[in-house]
Amino acid sequence: MNDGEGGPPAGAARAKTGVIVALDAPNADEAEELVFKLGGEAEWVKIGLELFCAEGPQVVRRFAAGGGPQPGATADAARVTPERAGTARVMPERAGTARVMPERAGTARVMLDLKLHDIPNTVARAIQRASHLGAELVTVHAAGGKAMLEAAAEAAKACPPPRPRVLAVTLLTSMTEDDLSDIGCPGRPAEVALQRARLAEAAGCDGVVTSPHEASAIREQAREGFIIVTPGVRPAGTAAQDQRRVSTPRGAKDAGADFIVVGRPITRAEDPRAALRAIAAELED
């Protein structure tokens, strides 16, 4: 990972936009089943609140790339890792077959999306723990204020390499102008997101998580290497569901996103790997 000031993780800086697959699953077994269906084609995965609360911090270690096969292991070698002392588990793939699943899937780079929002010292310590787990991208909430954002950024920079990158969530993609008014934050979502992105950059954060609708304005004003991750991405013709400020993968790329986060259009597709490939192809055009 690049450990200079600012900039994306090593391998993240790219001319093309990367896809982060949201592992929106109720437990690690189902998340692992999804990763299996993706056939190793997901470079990045996002672990959010549901999965983290269900499984605890160990779920990050389980999916972080550092938990994968050791050098020299063959690609088709079966890997059995004890889930608990003296045990191993076998997960059924389909009726009549079984496959061995490791405790650590070790297949991807992890974005830990907990949107940390607490007093500065608590958030700083949480960033340090996330680093030990192997998360390469960690989210905090920009609404936590400058002192909290600075504490998060400083804690990340003090972590041993490879250190995590801190991304400030500007505004939830489900929120509208009416929602902002309800919480005493009047203004248009685009204005609030841009203001919070400026705050995050000034506080030393490595980037932001923001709607594709605000990404272009943030890209125009941000420093080189500032990471922009856009959730709320839906392929053309798919339902927005509980998202409000959404875009297509191509629209997010054109707005300046370094990464897009895609969940249900991939995870609930009949063929998740085909869905991921189709989105990647759209980004390549």
**pLDDT tens readout for residues 228-273:** 999 989 886 555 454 455 689 999 999 999 999 999 999 999 999 9
Question: What is the predicted pLDDT for the residue at 106?
Answer: 60
Q: Is residue 1 part of a domain?
A: no
Domain count, the chain: 1
Question: What is the predicted pLDDT for the residue at 85?
Answer: 34
Question: What is the predicted pLDDT for the residue at 97?
Answer: 39
> Which CATH number belongs to the domain containing residue 231 in this structure?
3.20.20.70
Q: Give the 3-state secondary structure of residue 137.
A: strand
Segments in 18-119 forming alpha helices (H): 28-37, 49-55, 58-63
Question: What is the predicted pLDDT for the residue at 94?
Answer: 39
Question: What is the predicted pLDDT for the residue at 174?
Answer: 85
Q: Is residue 90 part of a domain?
A: no
Q: Is residue 58 part of a domain?
A: yes
Please report the beta strands in 158-247, taking only residues with DSSP state E, as ranges in sequence order: 165-169, 207-209, 227-230
Q: Is residue 22 part of a domain?
A: yes
When the pLDDT of each residue in the chain is averaged and rounded to a whole number, the result is 82
Which residue segment(s) compose the domain that 36 sits in?
18-66+101-284
Q: Is residue 258 part of a domain?
A: yes
Query: Residue 64 class from Cβ within 10 Å (0-12 exposed, 13-18 middle, 19+ buried)?
Result: buried
Question: What is the predicted pLDDT for the residue at 236?
Answer: 63
Which ranges of the chain have pLDDT less than 70?
1-15, 66-106, 236-246
Within 13 Å and on the Cβ side, how many CA atoms surround 236? 5
Q: Is residue 166 part of a domain?
A: yes
Question: What is the predicted pLDDT for the residue at 10?
Answer: 52
Q: Is residue 219 part of a domain?
A: yes
Distance CA 198, CA 180 (A): 18
Token pair 């960033």 in the structure block, residue: 127
Q: Is residue 77 part of a domain?
A: no
Residues classed as catalytic: 115
Q: What is the dihedral of CA 185, 186, 190, 196, to 10 degrees?
A: -30
Question: What is the predicted pLDDT for the residue at 13?
Answer: 45
**Three-state secondary structure readout of 230-256:** ECCECCCCCCCCCCCCCECHHHHHHCC
